[in-house]
C-alpha cells in the first residue's frame, strides 16, 4: 500500500448478514461509495457522484491514477475517495482513502522508469482531487472521527431501521 499524510483512511466492516452486504464485489464498492457520498454531502455543499460503469477509467500500475467502481467523485468528475475491498463469507472490509491533500509526487515512490513515473504523476493530477481543492477551507479541517460518525449515520439511513447498524467503523488517519 502506498499512502501519505494527506490521506484519511477509514475502513468499513459489513457483515454478510447485513442488508448492506452485496455478494457482487462491484456492488460492495458501490454501497461503500454511497455511504461516503452521503457522509461527505452531510457536511454541506453539492452532492458527490459515485463512479459507475460509465465513469470507470483504467490505471494499469496503480489504483490512484484511475477511477474504480464506487469511488467518490467531486462535481468535476475527479476522484476524492478511493476504495478497495476484501471479501469473505463473513462479510466485506471496504477501505476508503479520502484525499485531504493530494500529493502528486506519489508516483515518484514507485519502481518504474522515470518516464512512466512522470506519466502517472500527470495522470494523477488529471484524475484526482482533494478536500483542499473544494474551495471551502472547512473541508480541509475534517477529522476522521467526524467522517466515521457520518458514515455510520449514512448506514443507518440506508437501512431505514430495518436492522441494528453493526457496521464497525474504524477510523485511521495519518496525522501530520
Identify the CATH number of the domain in which residue 104 sits.
3.30.930
Q: Indicate whether 2 belongs to any domain.
A: no
Tens-digit pLDDT string for the chain (176 aa): 445 567 788 888 888 999 999 988 889 999 999 999 999 999 887 778 888 766 666 665 667 667 888 999 988 888 889 999 999 999 999 999 888 877 666 677 777 788 877 877 777 777 777 787 777 767 777 888 788 888 888 988 888 867 665 545 555 544 44
C-alpha cell, 161: 431501521
Long-range own/partner contacts, residues 161-165 (CB < 8 A, 24 or more apart): 162/19, 163/18, 163/19
Number of domains into which the chain is organized: 1
Residue 135 domain boundaries: 7-173
Q: Which residues have CB under 8 Å from 43's CB, separation 6+?
A: 138, 139, 142, 150
pLDDT of residue 176: 42
Q: Indicate whether 18 belongs to any domain.
A: yes
pLDDT of residue 115: 86
pLDDT of residue 167: 47
C-alpha cell, 62: 496503480
pLDDT of residue 105: 67
Tell me the pTM: 0.82
CA angle 78, 84, 85 (to 5 degrees): 145
Q: Indicate whether 1 belongs to any domain.
A: no
pLDDT of residue 137: 62
CA distance 90 to 63: 26
Residues paired with residue 169 on neighbouring β-strands, in sequence order: 12
Residue 149's H or E segment, with its range, is: helix 144-159
Using CB atoms within 10 A of its CB, is residue 120 exposed (0-12), middle (13-18) or buried (19+)? buried
Amino acid at each position: 500500500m502506498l499512502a501519505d499524510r494527506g490521506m484519511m483512511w477509514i475502513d468499513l466492516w459489513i457483515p454478510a448478514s447485513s442488508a448492506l452486504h452485496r455478494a457482487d464485489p462491484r456492488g460492495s464498492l458501490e454501497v461503500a461509495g454511497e455511504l461516503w457520498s452521503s457522509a461527505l454531502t452531510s457536511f454541506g455543499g453539492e452532492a458527490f457522484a459515485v463512479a459507475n460503469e460509465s465513469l470507470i477509467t483504467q490505471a494499469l500500475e496503480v489504483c490512484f491514477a484511475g477511477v474504480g467502481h464506487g469511488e467518490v467523485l467531486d462535481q468535476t468528475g475527479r476522484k476524492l475517495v478511493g476504495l478497495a475491498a476484501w471479501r469473505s463469507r463473513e462479510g466485506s472490509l471496504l477501505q476508503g482513502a479520502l484525499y485531504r491533500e493530494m500529493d502528486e509526487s506519489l508516483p515518484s515512490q514507485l519502481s518504474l522508469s522515470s518516464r512512466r513515473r512522470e506519466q502517472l504523476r500527470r495522470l494523477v493530477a488529471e484524475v484526482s482531487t482533494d478536500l483542499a481543492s473544494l474551495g471551502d477551507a472547512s473541508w480541509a479541517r475534517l477529522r476522521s472521527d467526524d467522517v466515521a460518525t457520518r458514515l455510520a449515520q449514512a448506514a443507518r439511513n440506508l437501512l431505514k431501521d430495518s436492522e441494528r447498524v453493526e457496521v464497525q467503523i474504524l477510523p485511521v488517519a495519518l496525522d501530520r
